[in-house]
Every structure is written in structure tokens, then in C-alpha cells.
Amino acid sequence: MIKTQRQIGRVGEMSEGSQEWPEGTQALGRGLSLLRAVGDGCDTLNALVDRLGCTRSTTHRLASALVQMQWLHQDHAGSYRLGPQVAELGALARQEQPVLVLARPVLQSLGAATQDTVHLGIRMGDRVLYLDKVAGQRGLEMRSRIGQTMSLALTGVGRALIMDDDEASWKCIYEASGADRLRFGNWLDRMRQYRESRCVFDLEDNELGINCVAVPVRDVTGAIVAAISVASATPYLPLKRMEALVPVVQEAAQTVSRQLGWKDSVI
């Protein structure tokens, strides 16, 4: 759940060369694909060419234009990273998320009470987007970061976000994740248990040595709109402590849910 996976591609994602863009939007689509690729860790021209499926000259021209407009930054070694324009736009986008504003003090209180790393995530397609993070106080710095996306099927936050989905949807999400190290039957049984208990346990499923307790956040309609998790290394978060933290994390999620208009006492 925590470690950043820098990959050239994602399961089920098409290369830009095979993407069919609406008429007149191909250049825009390629530029956005290039930004997404850099955000996913493609920091060299060769990696970008492989990811986009464009020619080297076209890819270089797009990257140069984005550098000039400060959407990308290129260092002296020629490596690319996201530029200040992306950071500014991302900050504005985060401010538009009401759940982020309402949840922030709750996350801080939860982090202070547990001393563990606390995350707030929302669903973005077949991925979970980490919207906020409160670092733990145990001298253990996790590699998760705000703006990172990860698998819905493997992360605690991700599985809390899909708790209300039907089992056909669960199967599609599981298959799209490429989670072949977990047998689907066992994964499905655990999802059924999590739905019943209204809480998800990540038992080193996404990263060895990291456990997590996650609970969904609901809005006024009862829909799951976010999820909160507490995560730490297994010596600090063994199963017995995870079980003790369930009502603590549920209370935090209920607090945010009530602020969003949720009236029921059960998350």
C-alpha cells in the first residue's frame, strides 16, 4: 500500500500510439499522456518513447514544449520531472475537494493519537489516489506521497473504497490489478468479511512489512466518497493492535462522514 511503484506502464493501459483521440485533439492527448508518464516515473526520453508509442522526434518535441511552458522540468542530466505548473494546478485541485478540508483536522488528531501514518484516499477510475497524508511519529518514513495512485485491489484504502461494489465489479478490479500473488478466492472471502465488519485489513498485501487498517467515508447520500487508513510497519501494527484500532479509525471516518451530511451511525 505504501511503497511507490515506478513502472513504465500499468495493467490494462494502452500506449499512446494505440489510443484513438477525438478529431483535432491528438496533440493535446499526447501532451497529457506524456505528463502522466512522467508522473508515473518515466524520466528519460527513451522511457517516454516506449510509453507513448510515438516517434523519438515527436516525443522530444512534445517534452520540450512542456518544459518551455513549465509543465515539465528537465535537469542537467536530461531527466524529466513534473514542473511547477503541475504543482500549482494540483494544489488548486486539492482545494476543490471538500472532503480534504473537512478531514484534515481529523487525520491530524488520528495521527497524534496513534503515532502511525494516516492516509486519506479517493477513487480515481480503477486506482486509489492519495489525497492527504499525516506522517507517523515512530521514526519510520513511508514512501507514500500525496498525489500517488495505487491499486484498488491491494491497498487497504482501495478496498475500503470499493466495499459497496458488487462481486462482479470486485472481480474486474482484481483482474485489472494483476494481483496474481493473491488467489482470487481468498481475496474475495476477505472482501466479504471486510464488508461485514465495515473495516479493511491490509496484511502486507501491497508491501511486505506494512500493515494497515482502513475504513470508508460516506457522504449525505450514503455513497463512499473517500477512505481513511492507519498504516505502519508490522512490529508496530501487529494483528492484535490492528483489531484494537478498528473502532478508533471507524470513529474518525464517522466524524468526517457526519460533516459531509451522513446521518447513519454505521459506516
pLDDT of residue 95: 58
Other beta carbons less than 10 A from residue 66's beta carbon: 22
Closest to 191 measured CA to CA, from 156, 219, 145: 156
pLDDT of residue 138: 84
pLDDT of residue 8: 31
Give tens-digit pLDDT for 248-264. Answer: 999 999 999 999 889 87
- 14 versus 176: the higher-pLDDT residue is 176
pLDDT of residue 36: 87
pLDDT of residue 86: 83
pLDDT of residue 12: 33
pLDDT of residue 3: 36
Residues 6+ apart with CB under 8 A from 94: 100, 131, 146
Backbone phi and psi for residue 143, each to the nearest 5 degrees, phi listed first = -90, 5
Place of cell 493535446: 28
The answer to whether 119 and 229 have CB atoms below 8 angstroms apart is: yes
Task: Please give the Cα distance from 142 to 3 (Å, whole number).
Answer: 7
Report the CATH fold assignment for 16-89.
Arc Repressor Mutant, subunit A (1.10.10)
Q: Among the listed ranges 11-20, 48-57, 163-172, which one has the minimum average pLDDT value? A: 11-20
Whether 128 has a pLDDT exceeding 80, the answer reads yes
Whether 9 has a pLDDT exceeding 70, the answer reads no
Helix (H, G, I), strand (E, B) or coil at 234: coil
pLDDT of residue 94: 58
Task: Please give the Cα distance from 207 to 1 (Å, whole number).
Answer: 6
Closest to 158 measured CA to CA, from 142, 185, 179, 138: 179
Tell me the three cell numbers of residue 74: 528537465
Average pLDDT value for the chain: 86
Position 266: which residue type?
V
Give tens-digit pLDDT for 43-96. Answer: 999 999 999 989 999 999 999 999 999 899 999 888 999 888 887 777 666 555
Task: Please give the Cα distance from 134 to 193 (Å, whole number).
Answer: 28
pLDDT of residue 14: 36
Spell out the domain ranges in the chain: 16-89, 97-259
pLDDT of residue 145: 86
pLDDT of residue 6: 32
Band of pLDDT at residue 176, cut at 50, 70 and 90:
confident
Q: Average pLDDT of 154-180?
A: 91
Beta strands in the chain (DSSP E): 72-74, 80-82, 117-124, 127-134, 149-151, 200-203, 210-218, 224-233
pLDDT of residue 180: 66
Other beta carbons less than 10 A from residue 167's beta carbon: 11
pLDDT of residue 55: 92
The pTM of the full predicted model, rounded to 2 decimals, is 0.68
Report the CATH fold assignment for 97-259.
Beta-Lactamase (3.30.450)
Give tens-digit pLDDT for 194-248. Answer: 999 999 999 998 888 999 999 999 998 999 999 999 999 999 999 999 999 999 9
Closest to 134 measured CA to CA, from 158, 154, 104: 104
Tell me the three cell numbers of residue 228: 481513511
DSSP line for 149-180: EEETTTSHHHHHHTTTS-HHHHHHHHHHHT-T
Task: Please give the Cα distance from 2 to 208 (Å, whole number).
Answer: 10
Give tens-digit pLDDT for 135-153. Answer: 998 877 777 888 888 889 9
CA-derived radius of gyration, the chain: 20
Other beta carbons less than 10 A from residue 2's beta carbon: 26
Tell me the three cell numbers of residue 157: 484504502
Q: Tell me what percent of the residues of the chain surpass a pLDDT of 70.
A: 87
